[in-house]
Amino acid sequence: MVIYLTIEYVYGRVNFLNNLQKAEMQFENLKNEKDDSFQPLNLIPPDVKKLFQTEEEKEKFISYIFTDDINLQKLSVQYFSYYMKYNDIILPFDYLNRVLYLFSEITQTSNEEFLHLLIVLFRRCSGFESPMQDYLIKQNIQNLILPFFPHKNVLVILGNLSINSLTFRRNLLNHDIIDNILPLVNLDNSDFDEAVTLLNSLVFYLPDFDFSDFVDSFIAAFCYLHSLYDDALIEKCEVIIKAFGDYVYSDKRFLDNFLQNEQLDIFISKDLNSNTVYENILDICISIVDVHYDVGTNYLVSKGILDWLGSQLLSDSLAVLRNCYQLLFEMLKNVQELADEYIKSIFLIQAIDRIRNPITYKLKIEIYKFICLTFSSASTSQVEDMLNEHVFDVIASNVRLFDDNQENWSLILNAILKLQPMMYHPSVKQALQKLEYNDEFYEWFQEDLREFADEKLSDEIDMVCDLLLQNESDDPDIDSN
């Protein structure tokens, strides 16, 4: 099942053993209690802790919620809360309707333990994209849980339901949810992570959501959040930078204010040993280039981004490396002159070394795109050196990487055409001759490319054909080895 961004997704599952220990604590006050435990686990029989063995077992625990026995009701809620902490299932709507009813009834009593159990179940049900999210929203769950704001699980539920729902998000924003969140955005507050992540959920990109009525509120909130970054410990920095990654992506007005206030500076300058931080800084930089093209690229260069990338390219994180090469590629698309800088900074040689070693397919794709574009964008004076470093051989031998990315075929063709102005140079002639004897390239070019390529590539294909034919006719006896 594809799971959209949720609080659980962003921060991972709570350590199970820690949760077992927390679960033994007495739940004292629902509005102020910050514990995320969902039951005293000693109430659950050992066999209930197992995964569903049969459909009958599942139905049995569903049926408990419809009894008048509060202990069986609790057991049902505990059972599904426990199971859904680690597995995604969709509960029947009549079950959800029953627990909503029980919640509304119990709020009139002093049974805080059961209220807590139900709130945790709502958290589980809202924690991944499913019909349950829509059902909870339609049943106006916010009216039931907002009286218990800012309980930790209430913050989580509001965030989960805000991500994919236009109406739910707008309703919260219209009721000044940002003003209510900000007092919780304090580095000493134990609910800091949940509060910032709720803010993150509210600003998360959602197609067709218009931020116009809330731009000033979000900008003020994120300016305040930015002011905390310098004093924050690494775990808090990870939460903050993740929120900023979505903030600058969701609306150009947020990005422009981010740039106007030079908010990138502290993110780059604060040295943190965190791949999460680095990955999200790279996301922010990619957004800057995607929106502002050459101006955004030159802005990043002026901030020393190339030196910063040099250190990130030594990372052992695949996500960081993918983002590095994606950013280098996007910058080069907008400012072709960067190609020579990439070569001088050994970015290209590093890429050649990486692509020759076992790496993931997604990372290999990003590196290959980067290599192709760097080769075709470099100045003519760099071509011979790149040939000597076997850059062109790597391009020719990896054309199949784009079998599922045919929109990138032009990158390969343009790399080949880079040799055209120098085709009479001995090293270039030899490279072209070797290309004709490369079985992988020949099969791709003669069969797949001609059969499946878009019409807009026809000119490039014809030019490559002419180049290869001309090279063969000019010097057919050149050694292909």
Main-chain dihedrals φ then ψ at residue 150, nearest 5 degrees: -105, 45
Q: Cα(368)–Cα(362) distance, rounded to whole angstroms?
A: 10
pLDDT tens digits, one per residue of 444-476: 998 888 787 778 888 999 999 999 999 887 655
Find the mean pLDDT for residues 120-130.
Answer: 97
Contacts of 341 (CB under 8 A, 6+ apart): 306
Residue 59 lies in a domain: yes
Position 108 scores a pLDDT of 86
Q: Is the pLDDT of residue 146 over 80?
A: yes
pTM of the model: 0.86
Domain-embedded: residue 354:
no
Q: Is residue 208 part of a domain?
A: no
Residue 359 falls inside a structural domain: no
Residue 158 within any structural domain of the chain: yes
Closest to 279 (Cα-Cα) out of 245, 230, 328, 307: 245
Q: Which of 216-225, 243-252, 455-464 has the lowest mean pLDDT?
A: 455-464
Query: What single string gives the DSSP state of each residue in 1-39?
Result: ------HHHHH-PPPHHHHHHHHTS----TTT-------
The single residue listed with the structure tokens 């050459």 is 294
Q: Does residue 454 belong to any structural domain of this protein?
A: no
pLDDT at 406 over 90: no
In this prediction, residue 475 carries a pLDDT of 59
Q: What is the pLDDT of residue 25?
A: 29
Residue 453 lies in a domain: no
For position 8, what pLDDT does the model report?
A: 36
Residue 289: inside a domain, yes or no?
A: no
Q: What is the pLDDT of residues 419-436, one digit of tens each?
A: 999 989 999 999 999 998
**What is d(CA 373, CA 339) in angstroms, rounded to the nearest whole number?**
8
Per the structure, how many domains does the chain have?
A: 1
- Structural domain that includes position 56: 1-164
